[in-house]
Amino acid sequence: MGNIIAIDGPAGAGKSTIARALAERLGFTYIDTGAMYRTVALASRRAGLSLEDEDAVARLARNSSIEFVPVGRIFLNGEDVSPLIRTPEVTSAASKVAAMPSVRAILVEKQRRIGETGNVVMEGRDIGTVVFPHARVKIFLDADPIERVRRRGGDLPDVPLEQLAREIRERDERDSQRAQSPLVQAPDAVRLDSTRLTTGEVLDAILELVRSRIPLERAHGEG
């Protein structure tokens, strides 16, 4: 197994931006596990599955091919679905899919197989607690709820802020209260509040931690 850097945290904390930049700086592979749940949600909607039918969604997840490519694109059964999984409808469905224990077990298995292939920066909700509890570096990236809504608004300018705030509150509740793999900070994770930090400042703080725990000669491309 290669070096694993786990970045967990709630929606809107900046995980994707930071994880992608960190992976590029280090020459690691960037894995957005949330995109995997979104992809299963998209596939479920296309198949006309009810999100109340966990068994059917789990079968679909197990039988679907979900692949990442180095530039951060995600493929479902050979189709690039990267832009299709970012709609509000898929976002809402993905949070429900992520609360299904059997689906989580299947995707965690897929995530672990990806992590065994080399050095990765993996971000999600349960990377440091469940997927890779022995990751060399664990970060819990957080931010003030108001700031998280503002950032999400920048990503989705056509969606009213009131709607985004409501969706984030509902997602936080589902993520933190689900029975399996709830969103919690791993005991050995470093908590980093990004509310008043620039992307560069967050990246520098994480790089300093990485340098203290991963030999630089193994972090190919870092510099």
- Asked whether residue 199 is domain-assigned, the answer is yes
pLDDT (tens digit per residue) in 90-141: 988 998 998 899 999 999 999 998 888 778 999 998 999 999 999 999 999 9
- Give the pLDDT band of residue 153 (cuts 50, 70, 90): confident
- Give the pLDDT band of residue 29 (cuts 50, 70, 90): confident
Which structural domain range is residue 14 located in? Answer: 4-210
CATH code of the domain containing 201: 3.40.50.300
pLDDT (tens digit per residue) in 52-73: 999 999 999 999 999 987 667 8
- Asked whether residue 219 is domain-assigned, the answer is no
Residue 155's contacts (CB-CB under 8 Å, 6 or more residues apart) are none
- Asked whether residue 158 is domain-assigned, the answer is yes
- Asked whether residue 217 is domain-assigned, the answer is no
pTM (predicted TM-score):
0.83
**DSSP helix/strand/coil, 177:** helix
Sheet order of strands, 4-8 included = 29-32, 120-124, 4-8, 137-142, 190-193
- Asked whether residue 164 is domain-assigned, the answer is yes
- Asked whether residue 194 is domain-assigned, the answer is yes
pLDDT (tens digit per residue) in 185-195: 999 999 999 99
- Asked whether residue 191 is domain-assigned, the answer is yes
Give dist(CA 162, CA 172) in Å, integer: 15
- Number of folded domains that form the chain: 1
pLDDT score for 196: 93
Give dist(CA 193, CA 55) in Å, integer: 38
- Asked whether residue 163 is domain-assigned, the answer is yes
Q: How far is CA 217 from the centre of its chain?
A: 27
